[in-house]
Amino acid sequence: MGSRSLVAAALVVAGWPAGIRAQAQDLTALRARADLGDAAALTALGDALLRGEGAAKNVPEAIRLYERAVALGHAPAMFNLATLHESGNGLPANPAKAFELYRRAADQGLAVAQFNVGNMIASGNGTKTDPFEAILWYRQAAEGGVAEAQYNLGLAYETGKGIVRDEAMARRWYREAADQGFARAEYNLALMLEEGRGGAVDLAASITLYRSAATADITGVNARLTAELKDLQTQLAELRASNARLAESESARVEAEKRANALSAAAAQLADAQRELAAARSETAQLNSSLQAVERDRTNRISQLQQENAAISARLRQAQGTLDQIAAAARLINGGPVSTATAPSAPVVSAAPAAGSPVSPAPRYHTVSDGDSLTRISTRYYGTASRWQEIYDANREVLKGENSLRPGQRLRIP
């Protein structure tokens, strides 16, 4: 495996999930609903105050609203408050409290919270490190559609960190994340397709994924540069307006002009960066052209190998025919083999249990098969995926460290 297979060996940290953000709405109506104890309204109003959307930014008030929604058991509020505890935004950083809140939201099935629980367990942030348990949380978040979790799960399968190495499974989860446009997963999957790891070689799909990953990276850089340029232009306009208002004060005007000039220089640097980005796009186009040439060369080579393989197959069939003729002649000379028949074995009859004897309930066990996970086993025996922890705790002597689920393992079902 080449070093290019790992775009970023470090675990990806999920950003603020769009689904948890408040929708733009009338804050007056939102406040009225919040005053009535509506948990969703409390969370949405907290979002607006945290970002200063539709009202002045007020982080302490946002925290108070989140805490009220958390007391009502609202999972998105738990997640949002956990991010503030983890980052130290508006209150002292407290990883242990953040982990507790993420875990409560994760237990309610919030996929992004499940992903952050996995991240904190994997890094030992706010809790003890357990690579195998982190994988279990990544799997739940991945099955919930979190692209970053799908990428991390693929990375774990590819490197064998916290789970038995399985390049076919790595390829599967990279595909899930790549289908959502996650550039790092597209790159890793492209490399596996090119090298034929975890499945058949697919050069055409590999080239398509390389291009998509490169385009996503350039697009993201351009978007960030554009946003920064827009922000700087806004600041420049504000400084110039401030400079006009303070025209009677020469010293203030000079200071404002200095700041405006500095921002103008920064804007010029960003413009240069955009020109460099355009040059990078041109280089990417040249790379795509080179990749097409490589693809044509490989296609020609594959066609040549297929022709050679057909010729070898024809010679093998001819040789097999000769061997069949020799074998037939040998049988005519030596006579055919004598077949023997064996008597069928007598059936074994098991003794029936004595009438009236007590039958104690046998403990339940599950033999692990391909594709099993603790969440799927929990669903099978309990009708819900949330009781996987009980199965894990009952079998810690089997599931330790890197000893993950493997076909043939026998697990006790409590």
pLDDT at residue 397 tops 90: no
8 belongs to a structural domain = no
pLDDT tens sequence across 176-227:
999 999 999 999 999 999 999 999 999 999 999 999 999 876 665 556 556 6
Structure tokens at 166: 């399985």
Q: Does residue 348 belong to any structural domain of this protein?
A: no
- DSSP notation for 117-140: HHHHHHHTSSS---HHHHHHHHHH
pLDDT (0 to 100) of residue 403: 54
Position 64 in a domain: yes
354: in domain = no
Q: Cα-flanking dihedrals φ and ψ of residue 106, to 5°?
A: -65, -40
Encode pLDDT of 253-295 as tens digits. Answer: 788 889 899 998 999 999 998 998 888 888 888 887 888 887 8
Tell me, what CATH number does 163's domain have? 1.25.40.10
Residues 6+ apart with CB under 8 A from 251: none
Q: CA-to-CA distance for 294 and 288, rounded, in angstroms? A: 10
User: Span 298-326, mean pLDDT?
Assistant: 84
Q: Domain end: 296, 315, 334, which one?
A: 315
Q: For residue 58, is it within any domain?
A: yes
Same domain, 243 and 171: no
Which of 255, 280, 315 corresponds to the end of one domain?
315
Domain region containing 292: 219-315
What are the tens digits of pLDDT across the range 213-268? 998 766 655 565 566 666 677 677 767 876 777 767 777 778 888 989 999 899 99
Q: What is the pLDDT of residue 16?
A: 40
Query: What's the pLDDT at 234?
Result: 63
Give the β-pairing of 410-413 and 364-367: antiparallel
Tokens of 12: 């990806």
Average pLDDT over residues 26-50: 93
Could you tell me if 85 and 104 are in contact, meaning their C-beta atoms sit under 8 angstroms apart? no
Question: Are 25 and 113 found together in one domain?
Answer: yes
Residue 206 lies in a domain: no
Does residue 236 sit in the same domain as residue 257?
A: yes
- Reported as a pLDDT band with limits 50, 70 and 90, residue 323 is confident
Q: What is the pLDDT of residue 156?
A: 94
Distances (CA, A) of 201 to 174, 176, 195: 15, 18, 6
The average pLDDT across 58-78 equals 96
The enclosing H or E element of 364 equals strand 364-367
Higher pLDDT, 46 or 291: 46
> Does some domain include residue 376?
yes
Helix or strand holding residue 176 (H, E) = helix 167-178
Query: Could you give phi then psi for residue 348, rounded to 5 degrees?
Result: -95, 125
- End-to-end CA, the chain: 41
Is 5's pLDDT higher than 50? no
CA 258, distance to chain mean position in Å, is: 46
Overall number of domains in the chain: 4
- Other residues' Cβ atoms within 10 Å of the Cβ of residue 367: 10
What is the structure's pLDDT at 8? Answer: 27
Q: Kindly report each contact of residues 100-103 with a partner whose C-beta sits within 8 Å and lies 24 or more positions away, as own/partner.
A: 101/70, 102/78
Q: Are residues 46 and 82 in the same domain?
A: yes
Look at residue 65 and tell me whether its pLDDT is greater than 80: yes
Q: Provide the whole-model pTM.
A: 0.50
Burial of 388 (0-12, 13-18, 19+ CB in 10 A): buried
Say yes or no: 102 and 135 in one domain.
no
- Reported as a pLDDT band with limits 50, 70 and 90, residue 9 is very low
Q: Are residues 264 and 187 in the same domain?
A: no
Q: Which helix (H) or strand (E) holds 412?
A: strand 410-413
- Output the pLDDT for position 14: 39
Residue 227: the pLDDT is: 61
Over residues 313-318, the mean pLDDT reads 83
Residues 235 and 301 in one domain: yes
The 10s digit of each residue's pLDDT in 348-392 is 334 444 445 555 567 899 999 988 888 999 999 999 989 989 998
Give residue 351's pLDDT. 41
251, 284, 315 — which closes off a domain? 315
* Beta-bridge partner residues of 411: 366
Can you give the CATH number for the domain in which 381 is found?
3.10.350
Residues 90 and 68 in one domain: yes
Q: Does 352 fall in a domain?
A: no
Contact between 239 and 264 (Cβ < 8 Å):
no
Do residue 184 and residue 228 come from a single domain? no
CA 121, CA 8: separation in Å to the nearest integer?
19
118-173 tens-digit pLDDT: 999 999 999 999 999 999 999 999 999 999 999 999 999 999 988 999 999 999 99
The alpha carbon dihedral of 76, 77, 82, 83 has a sign of positive
